[in-house]
Amino acid sequence: MAGNRTFTMIKPDAVENGHIGGILDQITASGFRIVAMKLTQMTQRDAETFYAIHKERPFFGELVEFMTRGPIVAAILEKDNAVEDFRTLIGATNPEEAAEGTIRKKYAKSIGENAVHGSDSDENAQIEGAFHFAGREMF
Ligand code: RTP
Ligand code: MG
């Protein structure tokens, strides 16, 4: 069904700081079902491809370095209105601007190292999920 899946990554900062459990608990308590999930590490080429839309931005090099420096948790999540509801759950890109109780408000330190990713459209959710998972890894 269109519109009911999104893709997320628990980023290297949150994994390093021991927040996998807390973040997954908040995600599932908020009504998202885990469709696919793994601990993995992006190569430089993976990160450059995944974030190709940002390649002209001044922070692109830093972003690729950050996203490749350690393992991430990649997951596909299912819920009605998944993309929008998940972006609400994680909060603004800059944790200083994120609403109280959001995942980035609780776990992120800076605009660059902001704990979690959430797809920004149904189309990108599909592309990003397929980037990380084969069909037989989706349940
Ligand atoms: P995401 O894609 O990770 O869910 O984050 P987002 O939509 O809220 O933000 P986006 O504009 O797509 O930026 C992607 C990621 O790039 C890093 N960033 N750094 N230093 C900076 O000014 C800056 N701006 C963005 C963040 O890791 C951001 O999540
Ligand atoms: Mg984005």
What is the CATH number for 83? Answer: 3.30.70.141
Beta bridge partners of 74: 9, 38
Query: Is the residue at 112 inside a domain?
Result: yes
Task: Specify the 3-state DSSP secondary structure of 42.
Answer: coil
Distance 40 CA to ligand 2 centre (A): 20
Query: Is the residue at 120 inside a domain?
Result: yes
| pLDDT over 70, % of the chain | 99
User: Mean pLDDT, to the nearest integer, of 37-61?
Assistant: 98
User: Mean pLDDT, to the nearest integer, of 83-112?
Assistant: 98
pTM of the model: 0.97
Query: Is the residue at 54 inside a domain?
Result: no
Query: Is the residue at 60 inside a domain?
Result: no
Query: Is the residue at 55 inside a domain?
Result: no
Query: Is the residue at 67 inside a domain?
Result: no
Q: Are 9 and 74 in contact (CB under 8 A)?
A: yes
User: Mean pLDDT, to the nearest integer, of 5-10?
Assistant: 98
Residue 28 has pLDDT above 80, yes or no: yes
Residue 2 has pLDDT above 70, yes or no: no
**DSSP 8-state code for residue 98:** S
Give the count of domains, the chain.
1
Distance CA 55, CA 64 (A): 10
- The predicted structure's pLDDT at residue 3: 79
Ligand 1 surroundings by CB, under 6 angstroms: 54, 59, 63, 93, 111-112, 114, 117-118, 120
- The predicted structure's pLDDT at residue 1: 45
The per-residue pLDDT of the chain, averaged, comes to 97
Distance 93 CA to ligand 1 centre (A): 6
Contacts of 42 (CB under 8 A, 6+ apart): 50, 67, 68, 72
Range of the domain at 130: 5-42+72-137
Shortest-distance ligand to the CA of residue 118 = 1
